[in-house]
Structure 1
Amino acid sequence: MRLRGAILATALLTTPILATAQPISGLYVGAGAGLHAPQNPKVTPSGAGFGTGQLQLNEDFGFNSNLAVGYGLGNGFRFEIEGDFARSDLRHVLGTPFPTASSGTIRSYGVMANAIFDMDIGSRWVFPYLGGGAGYQWTKLNAVNATALNGGFSSSTSTQDGAFALQGIFGASFPIPNVPGLSLTADYRFMDILGGAKYDGVVDNGGVITASELKLHNQFDHDVVIGVRYAFNVPPPPAPPAPEATATPAPAPARSYLVFFDWDKADLTERARAIVKEAADNSTRVQVTRIEVNGYTDTSGIRAYNQDLSVRRAKAVAGELVRDGVPRSVISVQGFGETHLLVATGRNVREPQNRRVEIIIR
């Protein structure tokens, strides 16, 4: 049980992921709150009157909250520092040798370092994520009291201690339309505060006041968190392309051909080679001053990567034109990345018609 949190966190980060990443690049902040469901911890007491058995703290549901600051790498992975707080009320102390009345609150707070992977499942409105974290958590037993119903014995403590902690995270984000960078989040978190925390207290056993100690073992917490996240450098959706100015009619009309590519590919398909061959053949039938080969991508992925991909696509088409007999000296090659979209879309949209190279015969 003690290693459950470590196993869960490791599994979340090493499970093969088939979906592609939803890139978040740069700084982001997040906050959340929700239901805190502690898994009743076992306690080893010391002090006269407790008996020799192991006790258990029976807690009510409570609430949690957290704040996080993180940084996305642009490839789906992001890392964050999180501060958290949780509170629940003590319902009963179980396992005492006599019926007791119990009261008090149990509070925990700490700092966690999390690693999270966002996934793109093909939806514009929901992006699942998996993650895990490690850090340190302090737990305070605040005015925790156990009093025998028949009198003669009472115990109280109001101290705190800390321990290393692990957590696993599973959730999803929901982008807010028309507010770039803002998303709602919902996730489930399992935290294992490793056992060994100790708490000093006082025992009144028939009027004899003695010091006592409570040792908590393996605090497991389950939390459901609803929150918001804002990424600072998400650009607004691109405006529709402005209409091009009417050019002065050329002596001979330009001829253009479109060659389309698979997602994240610069390889020519058989259909693409046939179109390039047709353009090469037609270039010998008209007066040619130059042939422009312009590469483009869709908006999915990172802009710098898309710029390089568009150049590679244009070079692949230019090379095929040369193999089909077009002199290299009349060919100009340019890459425009995700600009000049054929079909206007927002960010991170896979649009097949935007993954293209245009051959223009002048």
Structure 2
Amino acid sequence: MKFRNALLAATVMAAPVVFSHVASAQPVTGPYVSLGAGYNMESSQKAKNLITHGHVSGDTARIYTNNGYDVTGAVGYGFGNGFRAELEGDFMKNGFDKMRVGGTDFASGGHEGRYGAFANAYYDFNVGLPYLYPYLGAGIGWQESAFNDLNAGPFSFNKTRGALAYQGIAGLSFPISAVPGLSATLEYRFVALADSRKYNGAFEGMPSGMKVGSEYNNQINVGLRYQLFTPAPVPPAPAPVAAPVAAPAPAPAQTYLVFFDWNQYNLTSRALQVVSQAATASHSQNVTTLNVSGYTDTSGTPQYNQGLSMRRAQAVAAQLVVDGVAKSEIEIHAYGDTHLLVPTGPGVREPQNRRVEIVLQ
């Protein structure tokens, strides 16, 4: 039995690596869905207040189950900074093994089924590796615990009772490069019922009952998580076009720089002044096109930075329209953390790289 359990655990832990390829790990941004399943190991449960022959017995009982399985499904939202929130539904099943009353063991039939919902919160850690994101999570919710045909010697129970539940989660996600937004996951979960439950049943055909204390489950799960809306890929830098030899050199383009606070795309008062100056200059000169290009520093992932640079460029373009520039004259580009104004390494918050360039042509 121990060898079989070890083999199963090794297979479960290896599965995400087998199905994932080297991809760029990134914080989850926006809505996502997930599905998982795995190996469920349930603790024994202590029961007291046993009713036998119409009165409460002084005996206590302990209910033992076999290892089983669990299934989880969730919908959530990632905030792009490592934090996630989700709603999860789950189901787990463990067959009854035996029921020990006093010093006597009774072989048991039937199974316990657990199902319910959790509200979970997570944090994804950026450890600098391109192919995985560790994460920790915790949740609180409600679980229904169904004793289905628990038959142990003279006792029989077939009831469902609910209790407050909580869980702790530690996991790894492995981005799958072939499908943007898709990640394989490997998790350990500790799931517990915080309250006791009272079950009514029968003892030798007469009414019986017992009060079952808290229980907990250890789970090893594998799964898939899919981010519903992934950022657009970073477009290649425009190739320079050589001017014909006989053509006169074009007049130098006039450029305006709009800077942003870290991880922001709203326009400051100084940014509004620069945008207004660019709009005024476009009216007084022979300008046919305003190129609006967004950039970021290197503190985020390439995918997140690409989306942020687009939001910055769109914010500047919208303000140009407010300042009287025709929308048809504006071309919007987003280059993320490429084309740095100040060369830096990865993960550096450089203010001059957080910009939008307005080029009048």
| Corresponding residue of 1:187 | 187
**Alpha-carbon offset, residue 211 of structure 1:** 0.9
CA RMSD across the alignment: 4.0
| Corresponding residue of 1:241 | 237
Cα gap change, 1:240/1:352 in structure 2, threshold over 3 Å: closer, same or farther?
A: farther
- Which stretches in structure 2 are left out of the alignment for 5+ residues? 1-24, 254-261, 264-290, 314-331, 341-345
Query: Does 2:149 match 1:146?
Result: no
**Alpha-carbon offset, residue 143 of structure 1:** 0.5
Q: Aligned equivalents of 1:240 and 1:296: distance in 2?
A: 13
- Which stretches in structure 1 are left out of the alignment for 5+ residues? 1-20, 148-153, 256-263, 266-291, 311-334, 344-348
**Alpha-carbon offset, residue 95 of structure 1:** 3.7
Q: Counterpart of 1:23 in 2: which secondary structure?
A: coil
| Corresponding residue of 2:271 | none
Between structure 1 and structure 2, the one with the greater Rg is 1
| Corresponding residue of 2:218 | 222
| Corresponding residue of 1:327 | none
Give me the TM-score of the superposition, normalised by structure 1.
0.65
Asked if the contact 1:45/1:55 (under 8 Å) is kept, the reply is: no
Query: Does 2:167 match 1:170?
Result: no
Cα gap change, 1:293/1:242 in structure 2, threshold over 3 Å: closer, same or farther?
A: closer
Identity %: 32
Query: Does 2:140 match 1:134?
Result: yes
Listed one character per residue, the Cα deviations across residues 45-73 of structure 1 (whole Å, up to 9, x for unaligned) are: 42227952321111111000011011112
**Alpha-carbon offset, residue 182 of structure 1:** 0.5
Q: Aligned equivalents of 2:114 and 2:65: distance in 1?
A: 13
Q: Aligned equivalents of 1:189 and 1:72: distance in 2?
A: 20
Listed one character per residue, the Cα deviations across residues 90-129 of structure 1 (whole Å, up to 9, x for unaligned) are: 1111243434222220110001111111121112210111
Higher mean displacement: 296-305 or 52-61 = 296-305
**Alpha-carbon offset, residue 222 of structure 1:** 1.0
| Corresponding residue of 1:18 | none
| Corresponding residue of 1:94 | 100
Cα gap change, 1:165/1:295 in structure 2, threshold over 3 Å: closer, same or farther?
A: closer
Asked if the contact 2:234/2:335 (under 8 Å) is kept, the reply is: no
Asked if the contact 1:136/1:165 (under 8 Å) is kept, the reply is: yes
**Alpha-carbon offset, residue 352 of structure 1:** 10
| Corresponding residue of 1:28 | 32
Listed one character per residue, the Cα deviations across residues 134-158 of structure 1 (whole Å, up to 9, x for unaligned) are: 11000001100111xxxxxx11011
| Corresponding residue of 2:203 | 203
Listed one character per residue, the Cα deviations across residues 152-201 of structure 1 (whole Å, up to 9, x for unaligned) are: xx110111100011111110111101311101011111112112211110
Q: Counterpart of 2:212 in 1: which secondary structure?
A: strand
Q: Aligned equivalents of 2:87 and 2:293: distance in 1?
A: 44
Give me the TM-score of the superposition, normalised by structure 2.
0.65
Runs (4+) off by over 6 Å: 252-255, 292-295, 307-310, 351-354
Query: Does 2:48 match 1:48?
Result: no
Asked if the contact 1:47/1:210 (under 8 Å) is kept, the reply is: no
Q: How does 1:1-362 map to 2 (within 5 A)?
A: 22-48=26-52, 51-147=57-153, 154-204=154-204, 209-248=205-244, 251=249, 296-297=295-296, 298=298, 299=302, 301=304, 305-306=308-309, 338-339=335-336, 341-342=338-339, 355=353
Q: Aligned equivalents of 1:70 and 1:352: distance in 2?
A: 29
Asked if the contact 2:50/2:60 (under 8 Å) is kept, the reply is: no
Listed one character per residue, the Cα deviations across residues 204-255 of structure 1 (whole Å, up to 9, x for unaligned) are: 0xxxx32111211111111111000111111253343342333356549989
Q: Which amino acid aligns with 2:109?
A: S
